[in-house]
Amino acid sequence: MNTLLFLAIFACFGYQAQAYICPCNWNYFDGRCYYISRGSANNWLAARADCRARGGDLAVPTSKINNQHIYQAMKSSNVGTVYIGFYRVAEGLGTKKFYTVRGVEASYTNWLAGEPNNSGGVEDCVELVYKSPFLKNGGDVGGRWNDLPCNGYPRHYVCQTSFQRYEN
Ligand SMILES: [Ca+2]
C-alpha cells in the first residue's frame, strides 16, 4: 500500500470528523462550510465554476462574524486576497449594481475606504482582502473588500456550502 496516500486519507478523515458535516478540506463555521483555494488562482468566472463543481458557490459573507471567519482562514493559510460571491450586474443603460451569486442585492458589505471605486469602469467583481500587495505597507486590512476586474487578475477564492434560506 502507498503509505503517503494512506496518510493523506487518514489525515482527511481526521479533519472531516473534526469539521462535523463539511466535505474533506472544507472547514465548518456557524452553519456553513468554507473552502479556500490554496493551490490555484483563477479569474472570477472560473473560480465560481470551481466552487460549483465542488458542490457550493463563491462565498457570500452576510455578517461581520462570517466575514471575520473567512479573513482568519485566509490569514492562517497566508492567502492575501480571495474572490467572493459578489459582482456587478447591468441594470439597463449604463447602470450596474452589485448582486450576490444568489441573485439578490447585498445586505452586508465591508468595503475598503474609497471602494468600490470601479477604476477604469471595468471593476465588476469583488475580492476580500487580508493583505494587499498594492498598499504601501503591504499591510493587514482586516478582511475589507475591493472591486476589481473579473479577468486578468487571477485570485484565490473562497467557496461556501449550506446557505440558509434567510441569507443573501
Ligand atoms: Ca476597486
Q: Which residues contact 16 (CB under 8 A, 6 or more apart)?
A: 22, 23, 24
From ligand 1's centre to the CA of 135, what distance in Å? 13
| pLDDT digits 0-9 by tens, 1-46 | 455 444 445 455 545 444 356 878 888 888 889 999 987 899 999 9
From ligand 1's centre to the CA of 119, what distance in Å? 6
Q: What is the pLDDT of residue 73?
A: 94
| pLDDT digits 0-9 by tens, 69-118 | 999 999 999 899 999 999 999 887 778 899 999 999 988 999 999 999 99
The half-sphere exposure of 122 on its side-chain side, counting CA atoms within 13 A, is 6
C-alpha cell at 69: 471567519
From ligand 1's centre to the CA of 121, what distance in Å? 10
pTM of the shown model: 0.83
From ligand 1's centre to the CA of 64, what distance in Å? 21
Phi and psi at 9, nearest 5°, equal: -65, -45
From ligand 1's centre to the CA of 163, what distance in Å? 27
Burial of 154 (0-12, 13-18, 19+ CB in 10 A): middle
| 166, pLDDT greater than 60 | no
C-alpha cell at 125: 467583481
Q: What residue spans of 1-157 are helical by DSSP H?
A: 3-18, 44-53, 64-77
From ligand 1's centre to the CA of 39, what distance in Å? 25
From ligand 1's centre to the CA of 125, what distance in Å? 9
| 58, pLDDT greater than 80 | yes
CA 119, CA 108: separation in Å to the nearest integer? Answer: 22
Q: What is the pLDDT of residue 31?
A: 84
Nearest Cα residue to 46 out of 156, 161, 168: 156
CA distance readout (Å), 81 to 15, 118, 132, 148: 24, 18, 7, 11
From ligand 1's centre to the CA of 127, what distance in Å? 9
From ligand 1's centre to the CA of 7, what distance in Å? 43
Task: Return the number of other C-beta atoms located less than 10 Å from residue 37's C-beta.
Answer: 20
From ligand 1's centre to the CA of 28, what distance in Å? 30
| 165, pLDDT greater than 50 | no
Q: What is the pLDDT of residue 98?
A: 95
Residue ranges of domains in the chain, CATH in brackets: 27-165 (3.10.100.10)
